[in-house]
Amino acid sequence: MPAAVAIQWERRGRLFEPQRQRPWIVSHAALPVADRVAEERYRVYFSARDETNRAHIGFCDMQVAGTLRVASVADAPVLGPGPLGAFDDAGVTTSCLVTHGELKYLYYTGWSLGVSVPFYLASGVAVSGDGGLTFERWSPAPLLDRNEIDPLLNASPWVLVEGGVWRMWYVSATAWTHDGGRPKHYYHIRYAESSDGLRWRREGRVAIDYATADEHALARPCVIKDGAVYRMWFSCRGSSYRLGYAESDDGLSWTRRDEAAGLEPAATGWDSEMIAYPCVFTHDRALHLLYNGNGYGASGFGHAVARHG
């Protein structure tokens, strides 16, 4: 496999800090996803929590004239928690956005609360026909639910469309254990395919597995195709989230190269404790990174630009 050029990320600062800007943004601004809507404007979808601690998905618009900055914040979310008893009645969190033809597909994670374990996760999708201003659930049921392949939970699908094949990298749990009297989750990253983005074939293929015995959570993958190389950034967690990285020549078999992830927690400040939930995109032939810092999005999200080295 030809190795891609190593990247170091140059921090450009925090872009958005949740400060009760809207009723749906009482705390957190997690899992940012960028969608280009004009030559110098991006819509960044993210998950924020309301006063009852339930996550909603909304967006802010960013201008890219010189420096990326927030231009406006949506008054209302584009997707809220599902009805009582649904797979997403405790909240919805962002995963990825795919533009295909005239439609936009918002893949997300639905949360429901448990008893023996604190939560259950399942993947969903909502579709927009108006350029991403509003979305409707494709189904009230999960897109990916628990089954014989993924019996515990699945979440955080990242989707690319290549030659008529929809390709997904997603999170799947391998175990819940008891740690100090509390349930502890273990999940890694798997692969699935579809012909329409709605009905998925899962065979249990593992894309990224645990690197050490202490690692127990690999979260929200972000995959891009860079020439002949697939690059994946993701969150990996022992005691706290760090940025993980892997490369592949086919999107199926991956080599972890976490030392080349390109960004470590800062010495001080909003992203000094963790780096989480990366979203990488290209603007003006440069790679850009949106990511969360401390508190799983409690401190907001920031921006970095690639320096090749």
Q: What are 60-98's pLDDT values in tens digits?
A: 999 987 778 999 999 999 999 999 999 999 999 999 999
Mean pLDDT of the chain: 95
Q: Are 50 and 23 in contact (CB under 8 A)?
A: yes
- C-alpha span between 113 and 147 (Å, rounded): 19
Is the pLDDT assigned to residue 309 strictly greater than 60?
A: no
Give the number of other CB atoms < 10 A from CB of residue 274: 21
Give me the phi and psi of 296, to 5 degrees please.
Answer: 55, 35
pLDDT of residue 285: 86
Q: Note the pLDDT tens digit of each residue in 281-305.
A: 999 888 999 999 999 999 999 999 9
pLDDT of residue 6: 76
Is the pLDDT assigned to residue 1 strictly greater than 60?
A: no
Global pTM value: 0.96
CATH of 7-308, one of 3.30.360.10, 2.130.10.10, 2.40.30.260, 2.115.10.20: 2.115.10.20
Match 């809207």 to its residue by tokens.
22
Q: Note the pLDDT tens digit of each residue in 120-169.
A: 999 999 999 999 999 999 999 999 999 999 999 999 999 999 999 999 99
pLDDT of residue 102: 96
- Alpha carbon 169 to chain centroid, angstroms: 11
